[in-house]
Amino acid sequence: MLAGDVFCLPSKESTREYLTSLGDALMQIDTDAIQEAIEMLRVTRDSGGTVFIAGNGGSAATASHWVNDLGKATKRSGRQPIRVMGLTDNISWMTALGNDEGYERIFSGQMENFAKPGDLLIVISASGNSRNLVRAVELARERSVASIAMVGFDGGTLKELVDQPVWVRSEKGAYELVEDVHSAICHAITRYLVDDRPEPGQ
C-alpha cells in the first residue's frame, strides 16, 4: 500500500446489517411456491424428463452449482437419477450462439435441440428481465415444457411468464441478497429431493 492510501475495513455494523437483511429475506420466502417447484421437479424426474437450468453472471454460477447437486447428490435418494443439463456450462456452444445469432439466443438455441413435452426449464435471475432467459421460457412454452423462475426485485417479466415463480422480494439492485437467497432455496430443494426416498416395497 502506498503512503497516503486509506485502507478501510468494512465495519461490523455493515456486516451485521447485511446478515440481518439476509435473515429477513429468508423468513419471507414463499414456501408454498417452493413446494410447487419441488413437485414439478419430482414429476419431471419420475417421468424421465430433462431439467434445463440457466442464469447469467452470479446466477449462472448458481445454476451450474445446482446442476451438480441435482445430478449427483439426489442419487442418494434411491430414486431414478434426475436428467439435468446446465445451459450455462457448454461454453463453446454458448459463445457460438452469442457470436452468430445474438446473446439473447444462447439458451434457447441449445434447447431447440432437446426440449420436449415433459421437460422442465428453470431460470434464475435477480431482475427477472434477462432477454436470453425470456427467450428460453418462450421456447419452453412453444414446446410444452414447464417452467420455473427464481427471481428477485419486482419479479420482472419472468415472474408473469413462467408456470411457477419463486420470488425473493427485494429492493432493485440488491443482487447479493437475492443471489444468496436463491442459493439457499436451491439447497433446500436439493435436501428435500435427497430425502425423498421410496417407501419399502416400491
Predicted confidence (pLDDT) per residue in 126-150, tens digit: 999 999 999 999 999 999 999 999 9
In this prediction, residue 1 carries a pLDDT of 42
- C-alpha dist (Å) from residue 190 to 59, 89, 93, 138, 196: 17, 20, 28, 26, 10
The count of other CB atoms within 10 Å of the CB of residue 102 is 13
- Ordered strands of the 120-125 beta sheet: 83-86, 50-55, 120-125, 146-151, 164-167
Give the per-residue pLDDT at 81. 96
pLDDT of residue 12: 81
DSSP single-letter state for residue 26: H
- Write the pLDDT tens digit of every residue in 83-94: 999 999 999 999
Q: Which of 123, 150, 135, 164 is nearest to 25 (CA)?
A: 150
**How far, rounded to the nearest angstrom, does the alpha carbon of residue 64 sit from its chain's CA centroid?**
9
Residues of the chain with pLDDT below 50 are 1
Residue 10 is predicted with a pLDDT of 63
Q: Domains for the chain: give ranges and CATH numbers.
A: 31-195 (3.40.50.10490)
Q: Determine the pLDDT at residue 73.
A: 96
Q: Within 13 Å, how many C-alpha atoms sit on residue 201's CB side?
A: 0
